[in-house]
Amino acid sequence: MAHRVGSLCEDLYPPSKSFSEKAFVSSMEEYSEMYAKSIREPATFWRPTAEILGIKSTSEEKDFVSWNFNPQKGPIHVEWLKGAQANMCYSALDLNIQRGLGDNVAFYWEGNEPEDDSVMTYKQLFVEVCKFANVLKKHGVKKGDRVAIYMPMVPSLVVAMLACTRIGAPHSIVFGGFSSGSLKDRIIDSSCSILITADGVYRGTKCVALKDICDQVDEVCEPEWVDCEDTLFLLYTSGSTGKPKGVLHTTGGYMMTAYSTFKYVFDYHPGDIYWCTADIGWITGHTYVTYGPLLNGATSVLFEGVPTYPDGGRFWAVVDKYKVTQLYTAPTAIRLLMKMGDSIVKRYSRKSLKVLGTVGEPINPEAWMWYHHVVGDSGCPIVDTFWQTETGGHVITPLPGATVAKPGSATFPFFGVVPVILDENGRELNGECEGYLCFSQPWPGIMRTVFGDHERFETTYFKKFPGYYTTGDGARRDTDGYIWVTGRIDDMLNVSGHLLSTAEVESCLVEEQSVAESAVVSRPHPVKGECLYCFVTPMDGVAFTDALVAALKERIREKIGPFACPDFIQYAPVLPKTRSGKIMRRVLRKIAAGETNLGDVSTLADQSSVESLMRHRLD
Ligand code: WT7
């Protein structure tokens, strides 16, 4: 998915004057000034945010920020406002109600069926959260206990997360598309004491999950004050060794990042109606469906459905129904809707739209242009936000009133973020360059550790380049200083914005008794961005049949989840290996992509392996 320099991507899209005038940050000069301050004096820059969020300084609080990114100088650590007290739920609900927003809508819930909807104000949300927090307490959940949540996109999911934060219990949400096996692995790894779930029959019916129990309990529940460095939540993300990592975020820093990125990147003003289409089970949903919007007292749409039901006009129908001002979605959804043609989009007004956001993978300039010109009628700035589960919030992103956009570029760093591009030897590259995308100092919302495995945290993110956080992505900086994220450079792949490790899928495949060996690579896909292409060598004497392919797909669906189901499973009589036995994935990627020139294969132990693979390849 690497971007090529061309006239298409080098076009400049400045924000309109009328947009900039009303924006929080209205010029590159203003951005640069704020940015410089955020790097030079982090404490001065972030202190007002901490105050707005109701974080309480105490005598325990020593340094505003303390950190080490170099394993050679001691353990890796990041701490913001350690010793100060906070409560996420208090900042998101109590404070907004005290400030007079109690009757404002927190969420317009739009169900899977277009006529199925409901509204929840800040006050109503507050009451539900307090009641449910008391339910949790009654079940013995205490401060510090971990709570697993496995729920669909319904208001009760937001209630459940906030109830956890209210009593200081970290949540660990498992995306509803994951299988029971994945749910089990995550519950065991995080040793959660309780699981909150729903009975799962919400399609087509009004959502009242958990309501019966909530109705019978106390409406008063004082927030439990926690240390800013206490755990707010765990969220599992794929790891290149196969075992998912429990990314751990803490309270104070994450709150500051969620609040400020939401405010500045979407330029949210009172009266705006914001809609992020992501599922809460992913980090995008945590930060930009629940926490970022609520901390800002925003009104959002919470959507249970999919872009194509009842038809391909659903997104635009929802935009018109609620007069959505900011829409935040993924390139894979944009490409899917683009394929359906412009006429469906043009059936709807979309006049309310002001800012369009994208996240999840590099957006190809064609999709960017379509989003801008067709969806936004050429009038809305596009924010292409680069970030990761690990970063907690946006790290490289345009600001809609300030940044002159280039289609396909995530542009410049957010406040407090210092991106560097390193070469293989860890040298910082300057000017126009391409290399490893890393960060040289912490912003408030960066992850603090991998749950239960600090060593894995250090090895994964800080070992390759001591002194830097390594994203695992490649990036290019152009002559104007714009950053272009080119995609993963490790054994991870990105299917419709969901990260998967090849190792995770491979180990699932070889669990099937009749499979001797497998290798999984990514293949470019017009809608999903990338899809899985698997090479499978059956055990001696076992035939490679359609039934085997079907069984393997089923296994992956069950073990990981439906989104991980491969598009291609090809017969591999033998895998291409070097003399030391390492599978040459570079060659497999080319075969999967349908290329005929496989590059240098001289280091292969068995040259004929490639020819037989070419004969069996799938299109
Ligand atoms: C990986 C992180 C962050 C929420 C969704 C995914 C890719 C994400 C962009 C973007 C280019 C992007 C990267 C990153 N990615 N956004 N705007 N441009 N690449 O979270 O599952 O932790 O995946 O998604 O490869 O490392 P995640």
Q: How far is the CA of 517 from the centre of ligand 1 (A)?
A: 30
pLDDT of 204 above 70 = no
Q: Is 542 exposed, middle or buried (0-12, 13-18, 19+ CB in 10 A)?
A: middle
CATH superfamily of 496-615: ANL, C-terminal domain (3.30.300.30)
Q: What 8-state DSSP symbol labels residue 552? A: H
Q: Does 278 contact ligand 1 (Cβ within 6 A)?
A: no
Residue pLDDT, tens place only, 465-502: 999 999 999 999 999 999 999 988 888 889 998 989 88
Q: How far is the CA of 387 from the centre of ligand 1 (A)?
A: 5
Q: Is residue 243 very low, low, confident or very high in pLDDT (cuts 50, 70, 90)? A: confident
Residue 305 CA: distances (Å) to CA of 19, 302, 608: 31, 9, 49
Residue pLDDT, tens place only, 32-82: 999 999 999 999 999 999 999 999 999 999 899 999 999 999 999 999 999
Q: Is residue 207 very low, low, confident or very high in pLDDT (cuts 50, 70, 90)? A: very low
Q: Where in the chain is the domain with CATH 3.40.50.12780?
A: 19-143+226-477
Q: How far is the CA of 154 from the centre of ligand 1 (A)?
A: 25
Residue 265 is encoded by which pair of tokens? Answer: 């990147």
Q: Does 461 contact ligand 1 (Cβ within 6 A)?
A: no
Q: Is residue 218 very low, low, confident or very high in pLDDT (cuts 50, 70, 90)? A: confident
DSSP string, 463-526: SSSTTSEEEEEEEEE-TT--EEEEEE-SSEEEETTEEEEHHHHHHHHHTSTTEEEEEEEEEEET
Q: Under CATH, what is the fold of the domain 19-143+226-477?
A: Rossmann fold (3.40.50)
Give the chain's end-to-end CA distance (angstroms, integer). Answer: 19
Q: Report the pLDDT value the prediction gives residue 200, as an integer from 0 to 100.
A: 54
Best probe residue, ligand 1, of 3, 485, 489 (max atoms within 8 Å of C-beta): 485
Q: Where in the chain is the domain with CATH 3.30.300.30?
A: 496-615
Q: What 8-state DSSP symbol labels residue 362? A: P
Q: Does 394 contact ligand 1 (Cβ within 6 A)?
A: no
Residue pLDDT, tens place only, 418-430: 999 999 999 999 9
pLDDT of 137 above 90 = yes
Using alpha carbons only, give the angle 192, 197, 202 rounded to the nearest 5 degrees: 165
Q: Is residue 9 very low, low, confident or very high in pLDDT (cuts 50, 70, 90)? A: low
Q: Is residue 603 very low, low, confident or very high in pLDDT (cuts 50, 70, 90)? A: confident
Rounded to whole angstroms, how far apart are CA atoms 388 and 75? 23
Best probe residue, ligand 1, of 494, 495, 496, 560 (max atoms within 8 Å of C-beta): 494
Q: How far is the CA of 391 from the centre of ligand 1 (A)?
A: 10
- The residues facing 247 across adjacent strands are 235, 450
pLDDT of 607 above 90 = no
pLDDT of 84 above 60 = yes
Edge-to-edge strand ranges of the sheet holding 245-250: 194-197, 147-150, 171-173, 231-237, 245-250, 449-450
Q: How far is the CA of 186 from the centre of ligand 1 (A)?
A: 21
Residue pLDDT, tens place only, 368-402: 999 999 999 999 999 999 999 999 999 999 999 99
Q: Is residue 7 very low, low, confident or very high in pLDDT (cuts 50, 70, 90)? A: very low
Rounded to whole angstroms, how far apart are CA atoms 220 and 416? 38
Q: Report the pLDDT value the prediction gives residue 318, as an integer from 0 to 100.
A: 98
Name, in order, each residue with C-beta under 8 angstroms of 447's C-beta and a sequence gap of 6 or more. Answer: 247, 248, 249, 389, 390, 391, 392, 457
Residue pLDDT, tens place only, 545-591: 999 999 999 999 999 999 899 999 999 999 998 877 778 888 999 99
Q: Percentage of residues in the chain with pLDDT exceeding 70?
A: 95
Q: How far is the CA of 370 from the centre of ligand 1 (A)?
A: 21
Q: How far is the CA of 549 from the centre of ligand 1 (A)?
A: 30
User: Which of 142, 332, 135 is CA-nearest to residue 226?
Assistant: 142
Q: Does 359 contact ligand 1 (Cβ within 6 A)?
A: yes
User: Which of 16, 35, 21 is CA-nearest to residue 411?
Assistant: 35
Q: Does 329 contact ligand 1 (Cβ within 6 A)?
A: no
Best probe residue, ligand 1, of 386, 394, 522 (max atoms within 8 Å of C-beta): 386
Using alpha carbons only, give the angle 603, 425, 443 rounded to the nearest 5 degrees: 125
Average pLDDT over the chain, rounded to whole? 93
- SS3 for 166? helix
Name, in order, each residue with C-beta under 8 angstroms of 619's C-beta and a sequence gap of 6 or more. Answer: 594
CB neighbour burial string for 135-146, b if at least 16 within 10 angstroms, e if fewer: bbbeeebeeebb
Amino acid at the residue 609: S
- The residues facing 520 across adjacent strands are 534
Q: How far is the CA of 239 from the centre of ligand 1 (A)?
A: 14
pLDDT of 1 above 90 = no
pLDDT of 316 above 80 = yes
User: Which of 431, 526, 508 is CA-nearest to residue 477?
Assistant: 431
Q: How far is the CA of 465 from the centre of ligand 1 (A)?
A: 20
Using alpha carbons only, give the angle 176, 182, 187 rounded to the nearest 5 degrees: 90
Closest-lying ligand 1 atom to the alpha carbon of residue 238:
21
Identify the residue whose C-alpha is closest to ligand 1 atom 7.
Answer: 361
Rounded to whole angstroms, how far apart are CA atoms 118 and 116? 7
Q: Does 79 contact ligand 1 (Cβ within 6 A)?
A: no
Identify the residue whose C-alpha is closest to ligand 1 atom 19.
Answer: 361
Q: Report the pLDDT value the prediction gives residue 202, as an integer from 0 to 100.
A: 46
Q: Report the pLDDT value the prediction gives residue 214, as an integer from 0 to 100.
A: 46
- SS3 for 308? coil
Is-contact 596 583, C-beta < 8 A? no
Q: Does 500 contact ligand 1 (Cβ within 6 A)?
A: no
Q: How far is the CA of 385 from the centre of ligand 1 (A)?
A: 8
Rounded to whole angstroms, how far apart are CA atoms 319 and 364? 24
Closest-lying ligand 1 atom to the alpha carbon of residue 385:
17
Q: How far is the CA of 486 from the centre of ligand 1 (A)?
A: 11
Q: How far is the CA of 332 from the centre of ligand 1 (A)?
A: 12
Rounded to whole angstroms, how far apart are CA atoms 170 and 31? 34
Is-contact 604 584, C-beta < 8 A? yes
pLDDT of 205 above 80 = no
Q: Does 389 contact ligand 1 (Cβ within 6 A)?
A: yes
pLDDT of 209 above 80 = no
Q: Does 376 contact ligand 1 (Cβ within 6 A)?
A: no
Q: Report the pLDDT value the prediction gives residue 216, as an integer from 0 to 100.
A: 61
Rounded to whole angstroms, how far apart are CA atoms 485 and 1? 10
- ipTM exceeds 0.90, yes or no: yes
Q: Does 388 contact ligand 1 (Cβ within 6 A)?
A: yes
Closest-lying ligand 1 atom to the alpha carbon of residue 498:
21
Residue pLDDT, tens place only, 12-27: 999 999 999 999 999 9
